[in-house]
Structure 1
Amino acid sequence: GSIPKEVGNITSLELLLLNGNQLTGSLPEEIGFVPNLNRIQIDQNHISGSIPKSFANLNKTEHFHMNNNSLSGQIPPELSRLPSLVHLLLDNNNLSGYLPPELSQLPKLLIVQLDNNNFSGSSIPSSYGNITTLLKLSLRNCSLEGPALDASGIPQLGYLDISWNQLTGPIPSGKLASNITTIDLSHNRLNGSIPGSFSGLPNLQRLSMENNNLDGSVPSDVWRNIDFSGNRSLILDFHNNALTILANPLTPPANVTILLSGNPICTSQNQLNISQYCQSTSVVVPGGSTNNDTLCPPCSTDLPHENILRSPIPCLCAIPLHVDYRLKSPGFWDFVPYEAEFQHYLSSGLSLSSYQLEVSTFMWEEGPRLKMNLKLFPNNTALFNSGEVLRLRDMFTGWLITDSDIFGPYELIDFIPGWYENVLPRRTKSSLTTGATVGIVIAAFAAAAILSSLITLIILRRHSSQISKRRNAKKIQMKIDGVKDLTFEELSNSTSNFSDSALIGQGGYGKVYRGILADGTGAAVKRTQQGSLQGSEEFFTEIELLSRLHHRNLVSLVGYCDEDNEQMLVYEYMPNGNLRDHLSGSSQ
């Protein structure tokens, strides 16, 4: 559906977090009059229409995350009045018109990300080179024309991507900020030589200039002043240009990759020892996982224990929390050199010690965005207490972790308590308690469970008026292959007279008991309470339908009882927990 205009009446609203849904329609003008709004996250929806000019009234809003929608029209120049805006993420929309030069007046702007829009006929305003607060500028694939931006006046710029446009002319020769990690000018129509100002940038990870009309010499000392310890690497992509000269021998460190294919220098008879750089090589964005090698013995398998790899207590085993997490606009191309810094940043933001956080895996996604799986471990103990689980969850879901300059804004994809799920407040009333689901896995196979529930509900409603009359009727004789007709006495004996010690769960239909049948078979006995009783004919119909449901992930119906105003269904007992517990890692 659409975002209701009544949201504009919530004067206390601070966080509007609607990302990752199926929302359609336009942005209500009324949102622009919410006085305390700090963050608008509507990314990854299907919202269309223009950005309301009323949003220029949001004096406290710091985050505009509206990427991956179908927004159209021009970016309102009135947004330049926003005194608190730090992140402007509008990439992957249908925006058009010209880029407003007025955005350079925003006093706190850190990230501008407008990739994959259509600003055909527009150039990059030169005033963007004067946004002194800017950390990241990404204008990839925006149909921009005119000269490349001179970004030498942005003192803290760490990431510049103006690739896949129609920019022309020479590359500005001014020296970029020393903390820049990524420069991407590829797939344009730039000409002239590669400036020497790209040499000596100590944090550079990637310099991409492929598919232009650059000529002259190949730079031979871009890697100067870069410390390649700690798995640092550098990609220099110059392929498909018109480079003809090698002024000095190329003697890069092992961690430097140079791509020269498609340049005249690769076919020149006078150039020696560069064949290794003239191969057609694709550049893969690095991803991976934390090194889990350990000399410790395996942890106990009775609970989901894992080794805390960096614990000051050697070989300590603990049960972690799992978090799926995404960096929405990171300021680097290669995460590996920043992994230790990220662990320190996020653990500090969560008030944890650095060793309590582990980056289990990370993977680059389209954007580029960085998705990672995190593990959070308790502090030198085997378990988190319930208060700490709730605190950590609230830190993530309340956006209480301070944004980082280099790591940018984050997104919580999922907070997975796993084994700790029982300490979190229930958001909805469950039809089964945890104990009941340990004994019965009726819902393991979704289609069968839904079918059974619908049939039972229809039967209950249709015959509710006849229940009292039919309870006094003579029991119908049933004979179903593989399903036992059990007496009340047999089931009472199997469950110690339905004692509380045998109780394993309770729901709206009644209670579930663990029992041992006369032949030694373990069973889960579902005893229907008086308010849920059916007529014998309807009960027989339900048993007949349930007896036909067979699947390896669905527990079998082994028996029933219909006597003495009692109705019971008997299922096979599953001692190893239910499907949900195994999927979430909380099986005990």
Structure 2
Amino acid sequence: MDIRIKLLVMLNILVLSRYIYGLWKLRKITFHYDAVVYLQALMDNWKNTPPSWVGSDPCEDKWDGITCTDSRVTSITLASINLIGEISGDIGQLSELQTLDLSYNKGLTGSLTPAIGNLKKLSSLILVGCGFNGPLPDTLGSLPQLSYLALNSNGFTGPIPASMGNLSKLYWFDIADNEISGSLPVSDGPTPGLDLLFNAKHFHFGKNKLSGQIPSKLFSSKMTLKHVLFEDNRLTGTIPLTLALVQTLEVLRLDRNLLSGDVPSNINNLTRISQLFLSNNKFDGPLPNLTGMEILNYLDMSNNSFIPSEIPPWFSSLQSLTTLMMQDTRLQGEVPADIFSIPQIETVVLRNNQLNGTLDFGASYSTSLRLIDMNSNLISVFAQRGTYSADLILTSNPICMETVATEAPYCDPGTESNSSYSTPPNNCIPATCGSDQISSPKCTCSYPYTGTISFRAPSFSNLGNSTIYTSLQNSIMISLESNQLPVDSVSLAHPKKNSDDYLELTLDIFPTGDNERFDRLEITRIAFVFSNQTYKPPHAFGPYFFLAHNYDFFSDAPKGKHKSISIGVIIGISVGGCVLVLLLVIAGVYAYHQKGRAERANIKNNPFDSWDPDKGSGARPQLKGARSFTFEELKLCTNNFAAAANIGSGGYGMVYRGSLPNGQLVAVKRAQQGSTQGGHEFKTEIELLSRVHHKNLVSLVGFCFDEGEQMLVYEYVVNGTLKDSLSGRTGIRLDWMRRLKITLGAARGLQYLHELADPPIIHRDVKSTNILLDERLTAKVSDFGLSKPLGEAETHVTTQVKGTMGYMDPEYYMTQQLNEKSDVYSFGIVMLELITARNPIEKGKYIVRQVKEAMETGKDLYNLHEILDPILGLSSQQLQGLERFVDVAMRCVEETGIRRPKMNEVVKEIENIMELAGVNPDVESTSTSESYEGKRSSHPYLNDFSYSGGRLHSDLEAK
């Protein structure tokens, strides 16, 4: 007895475990289906998505730019592929997303959806160089894993959300080159601020409209910042003393603001700084003493009103200086010669000051000197010691006003020019290329990926140093190769300093081998190297950003390689030719003996081959009420398939309106070449359709399998699709009672298919475009091209999921196991369409989720007022039974089929709703709406696109 009890307990535990596992697996399946639905909704908002985005599963079908882990979308990287559109709120439903990079797509516009805050696992958000605008959503601060945020070079407006202070893992924060305004937020009690970003290394906030003072609280010894780039804003007040506490700082740009007062005396505590920009402000205190900043390369304090002073001796102690920019800083006295002997000094600009006396380079001035600009000072003597290679400018000094010196080269103001450097060819002669092609450094013609790479704070100023560009070029190439990208070579050209003192270069990246073009995946991967800062330039170049140009030369075809034919191949072909002659002789004998077998096989493969419709001979289809038409008969009834009779086209082919000799109007679906199916399949389909006879199903009148043609002939339904009426295209006004009757009619049609057809049938593509309305607005379910007999569907796992996204049963989508409850799910979506007149997926919102969210409040009419079709009215008296109607619809769209009702239960529920509303469910309308104008832009048989096996195809396409 004890053993039995133990066995029973173990059995119960096993059953319970399997049940829990099944629920977990089904939940996982539902999540995956939802992800696909929302990814599809994103795609619907975008143009120019990759051609590889076909198939029902982006993970299994390996969509370009989509990375999955355990069938969950974890990364979307679609940089630089010319996307056009907006980011819809559906992005927030991809709960496993970790990386989103849509950089260099200028056609991406609109605001950044607040739904981005739902991506709790997002670590990288990269939208560099797009066309986004509007304020930064406060929800950005609710991304606990976010470590990399690059939103630069867009049109974002409004303030920096204080909530950004919650991003404890953020290390890269780039919002430069936008229209961001307001002050720099710091924490205040429960309100977070930027001062809490202790792990941040980069504050790139330049080229915005930030205003107000730099808060003293912003900086502390806990900060680990390397770059503080606040250039070209509207910041006022003084530099806070707390800035000197950030001992990790390497680059500081506060130039082009409205800062005033003294530069803090403790700024020289920042001994790791290599680039310091304080120019173009309103500083009016003494020159700061920078003694101790031993690795400072670039110093620019130009255009400030410092207290007049002589050039301080500590200038010459900055032995790492390459660039000294002190234009218009009220300097006076003689220029000390030891400035020019700093070992790496390249540029000294001291123009527009009060410097006087003798200019003397000294006996050991640096050979690195390239520019000395003393324009507009009071220098009267130049003590020249031999020859010098630097460009010396003394224009508007007394020395150049003397008659003797006016012809001296240093009195010629000249023009500041940028370098004409470009990467030289690699020991070859540049190729002559066609339109839009460029000769690479290896002298091959191709279509390179191009863009501008900008360095925000380079440590040098000599733009003519080719060695430094060679170093940069090599580092880029090494980075691309280490990421296993198909790059043959890179070239740099046209280095220049722009108005922001950024160093800009044109970058061309050439495809590898014999390939002339990159495909989209390759471009996206290359772009990610730069947008994600995977590429690290040599230290001398400092922080950078890359802006790609449009790439219009994608090659998404497989890339073959052209090879010359070797001697071995030629010999092989010759030997093969001899063998081929012998084989032809043998094949001739064999073909003679197989002729009879081939003829028999042809008859077998073409079941109509020996069938004479008049005599009933051959393998005649078992038709019930449908007839066979000859090609000539249908040609005659459609006026030779005239253009005037053409009422549209689809993936299956063209559809024509025809009139039979007895006056019956028909719709003839004529398959185009390439879409025709095998004879057996076509025969099976028409046999299935010919058995379907119900007033709520569109009737098959006949077919044509003649002269290589495959055509289906249906009854012509005059008032088009339910979708057309809901959208207003037909002019028919559908009030609540008419919608109830249409719902009941369509439900009865599906009930017939599931229970009374012989054999029972699963429709597999129920949607509002496959429900037609006749002259009495009687609903007729149509288009059985994807249908399957119930027994066959239940005993086999389908190899290809078919249906329409938004209507498709998620359980069927993931398990590929089809049953009649899949039709029930789709019908539930149609019911929601009937009350909202909205698409299942519209503007990135899924209708099921919308209704669920609205119902959570539980108010009058389930709080659906915002999404109900306005034509219906908004009062409970006008919409009697609406809440019960919604209850039925939501039961139909349950996640698991076992929890959904059968169609006969749905029919009974709708009948009860109609009776409670005072309507007899068995009395049909006698006429259409008085507002009906009889004008339609499309025919009911030409439905919008469905989703079959992961690829879009017309609803006309047969199964």
Q: TM-score range by the shorter chain?
A: 0.5 to 0.7
- Provide the residue aligned with 2:248 in structure 1: 108
Q: Is the 8 A contact 1:26 1:49 kept in 2?
A: yes
Q: Is the 8 A contact 2:363 2:385 kept in 1?
A: no
- Provide the residue aligned with 1:75 in structure 2: 214
Spell out, residue by residue over 1:163-213, the C-alpha distance to the aligned partner (whole angstroms, 9 max, x if none): 000122111123244442221101121111112221223433321001101
Spell out, residue by residue over 1:530-563, the C-alpha distance to the aligned partner (whole angstroms, 9 max, x if none): 989999xx99xxxxxxxxxxxxxxxxxxxxxx99
- Aligned with 2:266 (options 104, 107, 127): 127
1:322 pairs with 2:455: no
Q: Is the 8 A contact 1:487 1:563 kept in 2?
A: no
Distance 1:349 1:248, change over 3 A: same
The offset of 1:149, in angstroms, is 3.2
Quick one: which amino acid aligns to residue 355 of structure 2? L
Contiguous gaps of at least 5 residues in structure 1: 228-232, 425-473, 477-483, 503-529, 540-561, 568-588
- Provide the residue aligned with 2:311 in structure 1: 171
- Provide the residue aligned with 1:341 in structure 2: 471
Distance 1:329 1:386, change over 3 A: same
Q: Which of these two proteins has the greater Rg computed from alpha carbons?
A: 2
Distance 1:421 1:188, change over 3 A: farther
The offset of 1:70, in angstroms, is 1.8
Quick one: which amino acid aligns to residue 365 of structure 2? R
Distance 1:403 1:14, change over 3 A: farther
Quick one: which amino acid aligns to residue 147 of structure 2? E
Q: Is the 8 A contact 2:400 2:406 kept in 1?
A: no
Distance 1:318 1:169, change over 3 A: same
The offset of 1:325, in angstroms, is 2.5
- Provide the residue aligned with 1:419 in structure 2: 553
1-side partners of 2:150 and 2:475: how far apart?
Answer: 23
The offset of 1:124, in angstroms, is 1.9
Equivalent residues in 2 for 1:241-320 (5 A)?
241-249=377-385, 251-253=387-389, 256-268=390-402, 275-286=408-419, 289-290=422-423, 295-299=429-433, 306-309=438-441, 311=442, 315-320=443-448
- Aligned with 2:673 (options 484, 496, 499): 499
Distance 1:358 1:187, change over 3 A: same
Indicate the SS of the match to 2:165. helix
Distance 1:531 1:205, change over 3 A: farther
- Provide the residue aligned with 2:321 in structure 1: 180
Quick one: which amino acid aligns to residue 481 of structure 2? S
Equivalent residues in 2 for 1:350-365 (5 A)?
350-351=480-481, 356-365=489-498
The offset of 1:283, in angstroms, is 2.4
- Provide the residue aligned with 2:275 in structure 1: 136
2-side partners of 1:563 and 1:100: how far apart?
Answer: 69
- Aligned with 1:157 (options 284, 293, 296): 296
2-side partners of 1:421 and 1:26: how far apart?
Answer: 42
Q: Is the 8 A contact 1:32 1:57 kept in 2?
A: yes
- Aligned with 2:527 (options 393, 406, 410): 393
2-side partners of 1:500 and 1:201: how far apart?
Answer: 78
- Provide the residue aligned with 1:35 in structure 2: 168
Distance 1:236 1:563, change over 3 A: closer
Q: Greater shift after overlay, 374-383 or 182-191?
A: 374-383
Q: Is the 8 A contact 1:325 1:411 kept in 2?
A: yes
Indicate the SS of the match to 1:419. coil
The offset of 1:92, in angstroms, is 1.3
1:369 pairs with 2:499: no
Q: Is the 8 A contact 1:360 1:374 kept in 2?
A: yes
Distance 1:532 1:240, change over 3 A: farther
- Provide the residue aligned with 2:734 in structure 1: none
2-side partners of 1:202 and 1:318: how far apart?
Answer: 43
Distance 1:295 1:114, change over 3 A: same
Equivalent residues in 2 for 1:473-552 (5 A)?
498-500=672-674
Quick one: which amino acid aligns to residue 499 of structure 1? Q
Spell out, residue by residue over 1:232-259, the C-alpha distance to the aligned partner (whole angstroms, 9 max, x if none): x711110111112233446212xx2111
Q: Give 1 or 2: higher helix fraction.
A: 2
Quick one: which amino acid aligns to residue 57 of structure 1? L
2-side partners of 1:70 and 1:564: how far apart?
Answer: 55
- Provide the residue aligned with 1:459 in structure 2: none
Distance 1:44 1:178, change over 3 A: same
- Provide the residue aligned with 1:206 in structure 2: 347
Q: Is the 8 A contact 1:361 1:374 kept in 2?
A: no
Q: Is the 8 A contact 2:419 2:495 kept in 1?
A: no
1-side partners of 2:319 and 2:162: how far apart?
Answer: 42
The offset of 1:356, in angstroms, is 1.7
- Provide the residue aligned with 1:572 in structure 2: none
Indicate the SS of the match to 1:157. coil
- Provide the residue aligned with 2:544 in structure 1: 410
Quick one: which amino acid aligns to residue 256 of structure 2? N
The offset of 1:12, in angstroms, is 0.6
The offset of 1:342, in angstroms, is 1.5
- Provide the residue aligned with 1:519 in structure 2: none
Indicate the SS of the match to 2:299. strand
Q: Greater shift after overlay, 105-114 or 406-415?
A: 406-415
Distance 1:156 1:275, change over 3 A: same
2-side partners of 1:222 and 1:159: how far apart?
Answer: 24
Indicate the SS of the match to 1:406. helix
- Provide the residue aligned with 1:437 in structure 2: none
The offset of 1:405, in angstroms, is 2.7
- Provide the residue aligned with 2:357 in structure 1: 216
Q: Is the 8 A contact 1:198 1:222 kept in 2?
A: no
Q: In angstroms, what is the RMSD of aligned CA positions?
A: 4.0
2-side partners of 1:421 and 1:531: how far apart?
Answer: 40
Quick one: which amino acid aligns to residue 359 of structure 2? V
Quick one: which amino acid aligns to residue 220 of structure 1? F
Distance 1:487 1:291, change over 3 A: farther
TM-score by length of 2: 0.42
1-side partners of 2:221 and 2:939: how far apart?
Answer: 77
2-side partners of 1:283 and 1:335: how far apart?
Answer: 11
Spell out, residue by residue over 1:508-545, the C-alpha distance to the aligned partner (whole angstroms, 9 max, x if none): xxxxxxxxxxxxxxxxxxxxxx989999xx99xxxxxx
TM-score by length of 1: 0.66
Q: Is the 8 A contact 1:323 1:415 kept in 2?
A: yes
The offset of 1:160, in angstroms, is 0.6
Indicate the SS of the match to 1:146. coil
Q: Is the 8 A contact 1:173 1:196 kept in 2?
A: no
2-side partners of 1:391 and 1:5: how far apart?
Answer: 30
1:25 pairs with 2:158: yes
Spell out, residue by residue over 1:421-440, the C-alpha distance to the aligned partner (whole angstroms, 9 max, x if none): 6489xxxxxxxxxxxxxxxx
Q: Is the 8 A contact 2:136 2:156 kept in 1?
A: yes
2-side partners of 1:182 and 1:408: how far apart?
Answer: 15
Fraction of identical pairs, as percent? 24
Indicate the SS of the match to 2:145. coil
- Provide the residue aligned with 2:823 in structure 1: none
Spell out, residue by residue over 1:330-389, the C-alpha distance to the aligned partner (whole angstroms, 9 max, x if none): 223333312112112322333369972211444432211133331222444536687654
The offset of 1:475, in angstroms, is 10
- Provide the residue aligned with 1:447 in structure 2: none
Q: Is the 8 A contact 2:430 2:440 kept in 1?
A: no
- Provide the residue aligned with 1:118 in structure 2: 258
Distance 1:58 1:272, change over 3 A: same
Length, aligned pairs only: 443
- Provide the residue aligned with 1:512 in structure 2: none
